[in-house]
Amino acid sequence: MAKPRGRRRLVTLSVLLLASLTLLALGGPFRHTASRVARAIVSPFVSVVHGVTKPIGESMAGIFNYGDVVNQNHVLAKELDQLHQAQIAYLFQLRQLGDVMALKKLPFVGTLPTVTAQSTAQNRSNFAATIEIDKGTDAGVLAGMPVVGGGGLVGIVTATTAGGSTVTLLTDPSQSVGITFGVGGQAYVHGQGPSHSLAMEFVAPGTPVHVGEHVFTNGLQGGLFPAGIPVGTVVGTFSGTGGAQQSISVTPLANLSNLAYVDVVLWEPGA
Amino acid sequence: MTASRWAWLVGIALGIVVVQLTIADELSIAGVHPELLWVLPVAAGLSAGAMPGMAAGFAGGVVADLFLPTPFGLSAFVGVLVGYAMGRLGEEGIGDLHGSQWWVAPSLGAASGFAAPVLYAVAGVAVGHRSYLSTTLLVVCLLDAAACALLVRPMMHLTGPLLAEDPLRGSLEPVRGAM
């Protein structure tokens, strides 16, 4: 009796492993439909449980961090005043830059429509840097569209449903963005994980790159991103002896660990 | 495994997803959170044997993957292996709720919870996601181990009667009888 049972167990193990591998290879279309159904089933229960747990969690956070909240409000009020002042100057520069980019026939983010979305979840998986937003294909959001917020580029839409989307953040190792820096410098930054800075690549030794300098999307990456989106700030440069390129760290301008609202730029890659 | 048992597994897996999205995702340490999906195959394997353990790993993994941005089927692949390993131990009566010391099942849960993310990361690298083997993996392993250790016994109380071949005789009796 033990032998047939053991054989049946091994056959089941093989079949289930094979089924998992098949899903890995062919899962795309099935996943899309099944995911929509599963989310529709789970959504009401999540709302009910959230309705109970969220106020409790926020009350606890408010009690224990009251002093921090007050301090943050003071800092934010000051920053808001400064931003109002800077915005006036920025609008003038934006108009001028838009005119120049139009002459060069490059897409420029300042002239593109956006959809504002709320972040509903962050880093669902421990193995990918993503956020979920509450706008999907119903609002015109499509895979490949850039997402901005908190002062800079946040990431790119990688999956959509009718009422929501998944945004893969800049810091995810799968992400790479063509950027411009200094006077006409071109390079790439790529993600190194959620708690790490971005790595700037293809910068020849001796090229002047200054700490504190901002880098922007260059719009030249086959049209993956429109030009002019602020990406990050250079925080460190290192030029090793005999290296073919400099090692440069860039911190994203957007605070990717605390995104409440973001704007999806209604821009299709290659458009 | 009958259709009704598969249905129960899918139902429990969806319940785990609800708890994951509402509570576990909020318990973040160093940017990572505990993953509850490994609790189901561990509990099903220990309480009902290898077949239910593997089925729980597959069903739970597929359901979890529907809510994750990572490759579809990867959690199921690891879940089947975890369910099989725990099921073999369960069939020997190791970690049994009534026959073993109280700490055996949580210890096995902790070991499985620690090993599962490592298996997941290695499988992820094999399918082209090199970044899965990162420095945060250790934190993920520790959190998953804690979650499994804490939840495996309550989950066994649920999965044992639901997945047992003969609930009146106890979940493992038919298996032991065959051996």
Q: What is the 3-state secondary structure (H, E, C) of A148-197?
A: EECCEEEEEEEEECCCCEEEEECCCCCCEEEEEECCCEEEEEECCCCCCC
B117 touches chain A (CB under 8 A): yes
CA closest to B63 among chain A residues? A38
Contacts of B44 in chain A (CB under 8 A): none
Q: Is A142 exposed, middle or buried (0-12, 13-18, 19+ CB in 10 A)?
A: middle
The answer to whether A225 touches A233, Cβ cutoff 8 Å, is no
Query: B114 is written with which tokens?
Result: 């620690």
Pairwise CA distance, residues A69 & B73, whole Å: 42
CA closest to A44 among chain B residues? B18
The answer to whether B120 touches B73, Cβ cutoff 8 Å, is no
A160 touches chain B (CB under 8 A): no
Q: State the pTM of this model.
A: 0.78
Residue B89 has pLDDT above 70, yes or no: yes
Nearest-CB residue to B14 (from A19, A41, A126): A41
pLDDT tens-digit readout, A115-154: 999 988 888 888 888 999 999 989 999 989 999 987 789 9
Above 0.90 for ipTM, yes or no? no
Pairwise CA distance, residues B22 & A103, whole Å: 50
Pairwise CA distance, residues B98 & A242, whole Å: 66
Contacts of B68 in chain A (CB under 8 A): 124-125, 128
pLDDT tens-digit readout, B11-61: 999 999 999 999 898 888 877 899 999 999 999 999 999 999 999 999 999
How many Cα atoms occupy the beta-carbon half-sphere of B98 within 13 Å?
9
The answer to whether A140 touches A115, Cβ cutoff 8 Å, is yes
Shortest distance, CA A120 to any CA of chain B (angstroms): 10
DSSP count for chain A of H helices, then E strands:
2, 12
From residue A213, give the alpha-carbon distance in Å to each of A149, A180, A195. Answer: 19, 11, 21
